[in-house]
Structures are given as C-alpha cells and as structure tokens.
Amino acid sequence: MRPAIIKSKKAQIEVFERLHARMKKQFTGHEPDNKYFLRGYKGAEDLAGFGLDFWIEFKWMGVNLWGPPLDGSHGNRNVLGFATYSARSGIGRTAAILARDPEGIALYHDGRVYARDGRARPHRDEPMIQINGRLYYRIAYVDDDHFFDRILEYHFSRLNVDLGAGGGRGGTKGRGTGMDAGPAAGGERSSAVFIAQHNPLTIALWKQLEALGYKKCPCDVVTPDLLVKKNARSVLFEVKPSALSHDLMLACGQVLVYNEHAKADRTVIVSAKAGVSGYGEGLARVMKKNGIAFVPYRKTNDGYIFEGLERILPV
C-alpha cells in the first residue's frame, strides 16, 4: 500500500496539534510571543541551540527546524522547512507532506532546502518514495518518540562531503563547501561538523541498546549523551566522534560530573580509537580508578559497529 497524502487542512491541524503537545515536553519553553515555537531542547547539550517552529495558526502549515545554520554563520534562524499546506499551493505541491501508510502518519520531504543556507539537497542513503507522482524522503512518523532526532539527522545529512559547491547530488549549485573536517577560523572546532557526526552516532548507539532491551532514563540537572537502564542497572554513555586526546580527557571529566547526578552503575566512553593505551598512562589510570569503560566504534556502509558493547554492559 502506497502512502496516501492527508489532504484535509483540518486533519493536518489535528496531527500537528497532537505532535506539538508531545514535542513541547522535550523543550523548556517557547518564544515569548508564540507558544508553538519551541525553544530550550532538553537533550544533548550540543543540540541545545535547536528548536521546532510549528506553523498552525497561519496561512500555511507545517514545521520548521530552527537553529544554527550549517555554514557556521552566527544568528539562529529557520534552517529547514517542512511546509505541508499553503493557501497558494495545492497539497502535494509543497516541500513536505503528511501521508498515512499501514504503520501510521509520517512526515515526508522532497529534498528542497533554503537557498540562503548555501547547501544542495540532502544526501540520503535510502531511496525516495513515490507518492502521487512525486518523490519524497520519509523523515519520521509523527508518533515516533525520536521525531526530533530524525529531523536533526535529516538536517545534518546536508553536511555530506558530496554537497560541496556545485557538487550536490540531485540539487542545485550551492555556495557551501560541504563538510569541513578541520578547525574553523581561530582554531575552534566546527560545532556543526561535530554535531553532524555526533548525532547519528548517538542515535545508532541507542538503537543497538534498545534492541538489547534497554530503556532511556531521565537525568535532572545535567544532560549526558545517553543514560539507559535494564533490570534496575543503569549505564551512562559519553560519545566522542573523534579520538583526540583532548576529547577523551574531556569525556572523563564529563562522565564523572554527570554521574554525580545520574548515579549510573556503569559509565562508558565511546570513541573511534581501538583503545586508550596510546594516550599515556595517566588517562588509562584515571579510567581504571573510576571504573570508566571504553567502547570503540567503526563506521561501515550499513551504519556503525560498537565493538565489545555487550561485554561491558552490567549483568
């Protein structure tokens, strides 16, 4: 059964009202003049600058991702739009649609992005889905607990190295330079690049833990990358996409401070190196003394492999 577009404006309003009511629990507040513009994401600190703007009481309808632009420029703004209804455009001709299939109602997007952001269309590994003669990416089901994660994952897919100026797959020529793996001006790491690696990695880790029967846990005061529990035993994860010694030393400090609040049975650092022996005896001693485990990851064509993950989980 092919997805069927929800064409009723009233039905779309009901969907977005329900989604907004659920999403606002993941944020601390909203714009002072608009309760539908959510701000203050409660998740990972790296993503605290992002928000969701629900356009429900306007001439057009949909949801926007609000936050820092991919090009690293200052000033948060709407950086990715999912318009599903417009008085000027028939439903099914907008950049996004709401459509129903046997698994539920999902948000779809045709790949168009804001030209001002300087990037071409996203690079996605999965094929597009044909609905009413047009091709769309399925972004997320509206009842998915990880709806916001899926939106961010789609947003950061535009940082793919193939999306340099004039090199976008299936898109128009952009002014951006694609993913910049090096430091930004002044020696500071590009936060956009870091998040683009960090977010998919953390999501992949969570999916594997969820398959093993773990559930997410809330944590007051601090926001570790991942805090999970199974059979009354909890595990706190700090994820570092790179394997720089600075990142691992920072991770050690983070898990110690976070665990003062989380009280997890096991703390784990996830990074790209095969082990920590190459960073000197000091780091290894600190980790051993404080019972911090280490899990290396490898990226594959199918996703990520977390080596030895099950061995370090508490029983």
Which residue ranges form the domains of the chain, and what is each CATH number? Answer: 9-159 (no CATH), 196-311 (3.40.1350.10)
Q: Tell me, what's the pLDDT at 244?
A: 67
CA separation (Å) from 192 to 100, 157, 270?
Answer: 33, 11, 20
Q: What is the mean pLDDT of each run of 10 residues along the chain (315 residues)?
A: 90 96 94 93 79 89 87 76 85 88 94 59 73 91 89 74 33 27 33 63 89 88 87 92 74 89 92 70 84 89 87 86
Q: Tell me, what's the pLDDT at 302?
A: 76
Tokens linked to 90: 């028939």
Output b/e per residue, 200-220; b: 16+ Cβ within 10 A: bbbbbbbeebeeeebeeeebe
Q: Tell me, what's the pLDDT at 187?
A: 31
Q: Tell me, what's the pLDDT at 4?
A: 95
Which secondary structure element, helix H or strand E, spans residue 23, and what is its range? helix 9-23
Is the whole model's pTM more than 0.85, yes or no?
Answer: no
Segments of the chain assigned E as strands: 4-5, 27-31, 34-41, 51-55, 60-67, 77-86, 96-101, 104-109, 129-131, 134-141, 215-216, 226-230, 233-239, 266-271, 292-300, 303-306
Q: Tell me, what's the pLDDT at 173?
A: 30
d(CA 293, CA 288): 8
CA separation (Å) from 284 to 35, 208, 272?
Answer: 48, 26, 16
With beta carbons less than 8 A apart as the criterion, state whether 241 and 200 touch. Answer: no
Q: Tell me, what's the pLDDT at 202?
A: 85
Q: Tell me, what's the pLDDT at 247?
A: 74
Helix (H, G, I), strand (E, B) or coil at 161: helix
